[in-house]
Structure 1
Amino acid sequence: MTYRNILIVKLSAIGDVIHALPVASALKKCFSQARITWIVEPPAYDLLTNNPYIDEIIVFEKAKFKSLSGFYQYAPAFIKTLRAKQFDLALDLQGLFKSAAISLLSGAPRRFVYCNAREGSDKVGKRICGPNSQGHVVERYFDVVRELGCNITNPEFVINITDEEAAVAAAIAKQAGLTLESPYIVLMPGTNWPNKCWPADKFAQLADQLFASNLIPVLVGGNAEKNVISEIAAQTAILPIDISGRTTLKQLAHIIKNARAVVAGDTGPMHLAAALGTPVIALFGPTDPNRNGPYGLGHHVVTIQRDCQGCWQRQCPEGKDCLSDIDVKIVYEALKTVIVRRETS
Structure 2
Amino acid sequence: MSNVRPGSSFIAHRSSLLVIRLSAFGDVIHTIPAVVALRAHYEIEWAVRSVYRELVQIVAGVRPIAPSLKNLRGHDAVVDFQGLIKSSFLGWISGARDRYGFAREFIREKPASWFINHPVAIDPARHVVEWNLQLARALAPGLTMPKVDFSRFAADGPRGFEGRIVLLPFAGRPEKEWPIEHFRELAKRLGPKALVVWGPRERERAAAIGAELAPATNLRELARVLRDASIVIGGDTGPLHLAAALATRVIGLYGPTNPARNGPYGQIANCVETFTSTKSMLNISINNILRKI
What TM bracket, shorter-length normalisation? 0.7 to 0.9
Change (3 A) 1:306 1:107: closer
Q: Which residue of 1 aligns with 2:65?
A: 58
Pick one of 109, 134, 157 that aligns with 1:168.
157
RMSD: 2.0
Structure-2 residue corresponding to 1:72: none
Normalising to structure 2: TM-score of the pair? 0.88
Corresponding residue for 1:108? 96
Aligned residue in 2 for 1:159: 150
Residue 242 of structure 2 aligns to a residue whose secondary structure is helix
Q: Deviations over 1:214-238 (max 9, x none)?
A: x6111112123223212212xxxxx
* Native 8 Å contact 2:33 2:60 kept in 1: no
Amino acid of the structure 1 residue aligned with 2:172: N
**TM superposition shift of 1:298:** 7.4
Runs of 4 or more above 6 Å deviation:
none
Give the deviation of 1:305 after TM superposition. 7.5
Greater Rg over alpha carbons, structure: 1
1:169 deviates by 2.7
Secondary structure, in 3 states, of the residue corresponding to 2:206? Answer: helix
Q: 1:227 and 2:204 equivalent?
A: yes
| 1:23 matched to 2:39 | no
How does the TM-score come out when normalised to structure 1? Answer: 0.75
SS at match of 1:49: helix
Residue 283 of structure 2 is aligned to residue 325 of structure 1: yes
Which residue, out of 149, 169, 178, partners 1:198? 178
Residue pair 1:22, 1:158 contacting (<8 A) in 2 also: no
Contact conserved, 2:88 with 2:115, CA < 8 A, in 1?
A: yes
Specify the alignment match of 1:82 in structure 2. 72
- Mapped to 2, the partners of 1:58 and 1:103 lie a distance apart of 13
Matches within 5 A, 1:1-345: 1-29=12-40, 31=41, 34-51=42-59, 53-54=61-62, 56-60=63-67, 78-83=68-73, 86-115=74-103, 116-117=106-107, 118-125=109-116, 126-130=118-122, 132-159=123-150, 161=152, 166-170=155-159, 179-181=160-162, 183-211=163-191, 216-233=193-210, 240-243=211-214, 246-297=216-267, 300-304=270-274, 307-309=277-279, 322-335=280-293
Gaps of 5+ in 1: 61-77, 171-178, 234-239, 310-321, 336-345
For 2:45 and 2:37, the matched residues in 1 are separated by 14
Separation in 1 of the partners of 2:114 and 2:141? 24
| Count of residue correspondences | 278
Render the CA deviation track for 1:20-68: whole Å, top value 9, x for unaligned.
Answer: 0111210013x1xx211001012323321323631x11124xxxxxxxx
The answer (yes or no) to whether the contact 1:49–1:160 under 8 Å persists in 2 is no
**TM superposition shift of 1:151:** 1.8
Where is the helix percentage greater, Structure 1 or Structure 2? 1
**Aligned partner letter, 2:214:** I
The answer to whether the Cα contact below 8 Å between 1:189 and 1:225 also exists between their aligned partners in 2 is no
